[in-house]
A and B are shown apart, each in its own frame.
Chain A
Amino acid sequence: MKEAILVKKAVKGNTKAFEKLLVLHSDRLYRTAYLYAGNREDALDIVQETSCKAYLAIGQLKNEDYFLTWLTRILIHCAYDVLKKRKKEIPVEKQVDLTSNSDHKLAENLDLMEAITLLKAQHRTAIILFYYHDLPISEIARMMVIPENTVKTYLQRGRKELKNRLGGEHDEKENVS
């Protein structure tokens, strides 16, 4: 069934159609959640919470064309919640502030996925939405409720942090302006 029809049915309250829609996007939902959480359990928690919140709110979706953007926005907030909870659970002495420690040796062994999970939440969001979801800067600005120039700054900072952690090998210039 075409996605647009499923969205229409879901907005009207059809649970099966809503579930089908989420299944249709399940890979992307999981992968995005994983980029935030960095582990399978938390990523699955994020997917579950997103499904719950989106189900509660689907009746409010006004523009059916934006279903995926709308769903991603909910997922990002669920991911922030999980990150926040996890931060509370990790004892302070075990937390490593990588951003303030430029000569951190862990960096050498990280792959891109791990490096992303170490970015500051806002930088991570900008990077995921730009590089994985292929969204334009204007749309990222709208989703994150920040000005476009701040998105560009986050992207630049995020890329810079990734470059530091990955030893520079991935830093091919890409214009984000």
Chain B
Amino acid sequence: MKKKMFHESVDQLEVPEDEVLKAIKAGVSKGNKMKAKQKPRFKVIGASVAAAAVLFVASGFMVPTVGNVMADIPFLAKLYEHDKVAENLATQQLITELNEKAVSDGIDVSVIDAYYDGAIIGVTFDVKGEVKGDEDEMYAFYEIFDRDPNIEETMELVKLLPIEGGYKGHIQLSYPRAELPAETTLPFNIIGIGEINDNWKDEQGKWNFDVPIKQLPFETAPLGKVSEHGDYKITFEKLITGNSSIAIEYTLSYPEDGERVMLNLFDDKGKQMIGGTSDAKLERKVEDGTVLEKRRITLPMVPESDFIEVQPSMDSGEELDAVKINL
């Protein structure tokens, strides 16, 4: 699909100019009246609380054409170039090699390695056999944790990259449960491989794995910092520092019909930290119209910064007090 074609189609939409102007004026006038009454301001701006995505997926990585690969380390670093945690752990040889194979439909899938650092998990797998589709548009559709309904997103697509004799896939996700066990297994089932198929989501896993994952040493430090505004309260509970990743656990409380609150992270130079972060809901309960959510925000890196400034903001743009977390 071309952007030009998209624009042309959208531009063909007829705009009822007078009515749009009326809608704008009516909206501003409504806002004006609400502003006059507003005390506290939040209660009137009722929007839905949408869940943020838990899962983040590395869409794959390039495998270098085997030229003069002189040593394992640069090769591995290149292999994980879209997953900084993996890249970092690989250079320290902290990724566990595995060889777990499952066969279905004449296609072999082998889970070849995995890591578990702080709250982040990464898994790499190879696909061999007769896979149908265009080599550059090859996907695997997988589920994790047996589609546990308490986890926000349990199904995902991952783009596969061609290697000699097959394909390679790599996923990265944040551990979706409150407790971070030292040793556990990740239920990881691949449902479909090849061209994207609409029926995949209704099918069962064909290549099923329980990937053993062992937690690398990590530290936790209590934070006990609070940011509060009206009926909204964020308690920053603890900082988890892994080898190559960090996570901040916090509890968010807000009115049941309240707005969504987002956390924006900045480094010590005021630069916003975006890309790869994941804000996962771990637990949720409602008490007397107040929602209490335990959440964990994960960064797939250890920032080169003395601290992280967390700036919570609401959908309406309203900001809560920023909190500084020393690293």
* B-binding residues in A (CB < 8 A): 15, 18-19, 22-23, 26-27, 29-31, 34-35, 40, 44-45, 47-58, 60-62, 70, 73-74, 77-78, 80-81, 84, 99-102, 111-113, 131-132, 134, 138, 141-142, 145-150, 152-153, 156-157, 159-160, 162, 164, 170-172, 174, 177
Contacts and interface: CB of A to CB of B under 8 A. Distances in A.
A131 B2 CA distance: 8
13 contacts: A19-B28, A31-B11, A47-B23, A48-B24, A48-B30, A57-B318, A74-B317, A111-B9, A112-B6, A113-B13, A145-B262, A147-B53, A174-B3
A55 B59 contact: no
Nearest to A112: B9
Contacts of B25: 19, 51
B59 A149 contact: yes
Nearest to B82: A149
Contact of B34 (A56, A101, A156): A56
3 tightest CB-CB pairs across the interface, nearest first? Answer: A51-B27, A55-B31, A147-B56
Contacts of B277: 147
Interface residues of B, number: 65
B131 to A, nearest CB: 17
Contacts of A148: 275-276
A31 B316 contact: no
A99 B27 CA distance: 34
A84 to B, nearest CB: 6
A174 B2 contact: yes
A6 B9 CA distance: 30
B1 A170 contact: yes
Nearest to B9: A112
B276 A55 contact: no
A52 B28 contact: yes
Contacts of B47: 53, 77-78, 81
